[in-house]
Amino acid sequence: MDCTFPHRFLATALVAVALTFAAPAGAEEEVYAIQNRIFDRHHEVDLLLGLVPNDDFHEPLSLGVQYTFNFNEILAWEVVRAQYFLNREKDLKRDLEENFGVTPTELDWLRYGVFTSLVLKPSYGKDALWNRKVVNHETFVAAGAGVVRYESENTDGETGGETAPSLILGLGRKYFINKNLCLNLELRDYVNFREAGAENRVYLGLSLGFRFDLAPRTATSDDSAQRLRGFVGKGGADG
């Protein structure tokens, strides 16, 4: 009896198992997914609505408008972002006066801001809503600069103001309603460089965007797809 048979059989089995598990790994390296952004447009105009929750004495409600130009699917420019802040006093001032007999010598609040930012759009995908509707969305991050205007009033009723430079960092998610409308959720941090020092204002916002093109976008061609069509056509002609 040939004693090498079990060893040969075992070696063959090991090689077969190795190839079985190695094939998916090799195939996985070659497979990648490309999601076409079917709602991509050059221009977007947004109506902004938001809150600034970390003001000590006021509750600023922000109204604004924004225009964005999309260079491509990855990079965009918020050309101008203008916001106006409506302020309502919190109960903190009244509580200090009534319970502790203390009145702030001066109160100030945000009045308006104008900004411009670069936007990076690193991810795009879709969700199934109740297994009935597909919702396309993209995630974006923004960084930019601008100016903000503060107004103030002291205990004597004298008013004043201050204009300060500002830096912006933001993160958001865009949901596409259809080819022209989108809904944006965002969180932004405004770092305002005032005379007394830097001050952070957190902004929570919701906006409705109208997206459009002034001219049709140039369609991109896939060379590999074209070659495949040519090969299939040639094969059909030869058959």
Place of tokens 């797809």: 225
Express each pLDDT in 62-98 by its tens digit: 999 999 999 999 999 999 999 999 988 876 666 656 5
Coil, helix or strand for 112? strand
Q: 55 to each of 51, 71, 87, 152, 201, how far by Cα in Å?
A: 10, 36, 10, 14, 7
Whether 34 maps to a domain, the answer reads no
Place of tokens 């990855």: 74
Q: What is the mean pLDDT of residues 102-125?
A: 87
Q: Would you give the DSSP letter of residue 96? A: I
Whether 115 maps to a domain, the answer reads yes
Residue of 99 and 207 predicted with greater confidence: 207
Whether 35 maps to a domain, the answer reads no
The answer to whether 65 and 85 have CB atoms below 8 angstroms apart is: no
Whether 60 maps to a domain, the answer reads yes
On average, the pLDDT of the chain sits at 81
Express each pLDDT in 145-195 by its tens digit: 999 999 987 766 678 889 999 999 999 999 999 999 999 999 999 999 999
Whether 11 maps to a domain, the answer reads no
| pLDDT for residue 29 | 55
pTM for the model stands at 0.72
Comparing C-alpha atoms, which of 62, 95, 65 is closest to residue 78?
65
Whether 229 maps to a domain, the answer reads no
Q: Which CATH number characterizes residue 123's domain?
A: 2.40.160.20
Residue of 60 and 166 predicted with greater confidence: 166
Whether 138 maps to a domain, the answer reads yes
Per-residue pLDDT at 17 exceeds 90 = no
Q: How many domains does the chain have?
A: 1
Q: Identify the band that residue 26 occupies on the pLDDT scale cut at 50, 70 and 90.
A: very low
Cα–Cα dist 8/4, whole Å: 6
| pLDDT for residue 123 | 92
Place of tokens 């205007």: 149
Q: Which two tokens stand for residue 37?
A: 């952004």
Name the residue range of residue 64's domain: 43-212
Whether 103 maps to a domain, the answer reads yes
Per-residue pLDDT at 221 exceeds 60 = no
